[in-house]
Amino acid sequence: MDFQSVVFYFFSAVMVLASLRVITARNPVHAALFLVLAFFSAGGIWMLLRAEFLAIALVMVYVGAVMVLFLFVVMMLDINLERIRQGFWSYLPIGAVVGLLMVAEMAIVVGGRYFGLEGMPTPAEPEPGYSNTKELGRLLYTEYVYPFELASIVLLVAMIAAVALTLRKRTGVKKIDPAAQVAVNRDDRVRIVSMRAEKE
């Protein structure tokens, strides 16, 4: 076994174990941390495939940003584990049957017979100076520009939806408008009244 295979099996084993722990961990914070580990291992495997950009993006975006946010949410929310686990045993038999059936079917199709190494052409050895990142960027902005722009609109809709669903304008709150405070004139605050001087 050469070095590459050793690294591949190591990362794969870590990823499978971590993924398993994500769904079996009792503590949601632990589950989130195991998910970080799984992402990290997946990044390693991508690196082995020479997809450096995707590997780094996965670590930066998912591990660095998404999972940290996730951890915050998990810590802030008081998740009642008892209620989540309610009905687990009553749903288990049917869930297990359906799940096992699907796994068996997938194993038949996705197994080595159709998608094995023999069925797939060997990728060409990249020429020197080949940059994975450059190729990705080129494709995204030329051939795939239409779906790329669509994806950006999907994100925009997600933003609009989040605003529409969470922004509440509460009435009757005594809040101060800083812009109005800054823009205030002397005339708004002081009224000079001219009146006759009076003697006692």
Partner 1 sequence: MNFVIPDFYPAAAELFVAAMSFVILLVGTFKQSARHFVYTLTQITLVGAAAITWQTMDGQVNFTFSNMYVDDLMGDVLKLMLYLSVAAVLVYSRGYMNDRKMETTEYYLLAIYATLGMMVMISANHFLTIYLGLELLSLALYAMVALERDSARATEAAMKYFVLGALASGLLLYGISMIYGATGTLEISNVAQAIYHQAGNRTVLMFGLVFVVAGLAFKLGVVPFHMWIPDVYQGAPAAITLFIASAPKLAAFAMAMRLLVNGLFELAEQWQSMLMFLAVLSIVLGNLAAIAQTNIKRMLGYSGISHMGFMLLGLMSGVVGGDRHFALNAYSSSMFYVIAYVLMSLASFGVILLMSRAGFEAEALDDFKGLNKRSSWFAGVMAMVMFSMAGIPFFIGFFAKFSVLQAVVAAGYIWLAILAVIMSLIGAFYYLRVVKIMYFDEPADNTPIGATLDMRVLLSLNGLAIAVLGLLPQSLMTWCAYSLLGSL
Give the binding site for partner 1 (CB under 8 A).
Answer: 105, 108-109, 114-115, 138, 142-147, 150-151, 153-154, 156-158, 160-161, 163-165, 168
Q: Of the two residues 6 and 156, which places its CB atom closer to partner 1 in the complex?
A: 156
CA distance 30 to 171: 41
For residues 34 and 70, the answer to whether their CB atoms sit within 8 Å is no
The CB-of-104 to partner 1 minimum distance in angstroms stands at 12
Q: Of the two residues 70 and 144, which places its CB atom closer to partner 1 in the complex?
A: 144
The CB-of-151 to partner 1 minimum distance in angstroms stands at 6
The CB-of-157 to partner 1 minimum distance in angstroms stands at 5
Q: Could you write out the DSSP letters of every residue in 152-196?
A: HHHHHHHHHHHHHHH----SS-----HHHHHT--HHHH-------
Q: Of the two residues 77 and 190, which places its CB atom closer to partner 1 in the complex?
A: 77
The CB-of-29 to partner 1 minimum distance in angstroms stands at 24
Please state, as a whole number, how many other Cβ atoms lie within 10 Å of the Cβ of residue 43: 22
Buried-exposed string 7-40: b where 16+ CB fall within 10 A, e elsewhere: ebeebeebbeebbebbeeeeebeebbbbbbbbbb
Q: Of the two residues 29 and 157, which places its CB atom closer to partner 1 in the complex?
A: 157
In this structure, which amino acid lies at residue 112? Answer: G
The CB-of-26 to partner 1 minimum distance in angstroms stands at 23
Q: Of the two residues 84 and 157, which places its CB atom closer to partner 1 in the complex?
A: 157
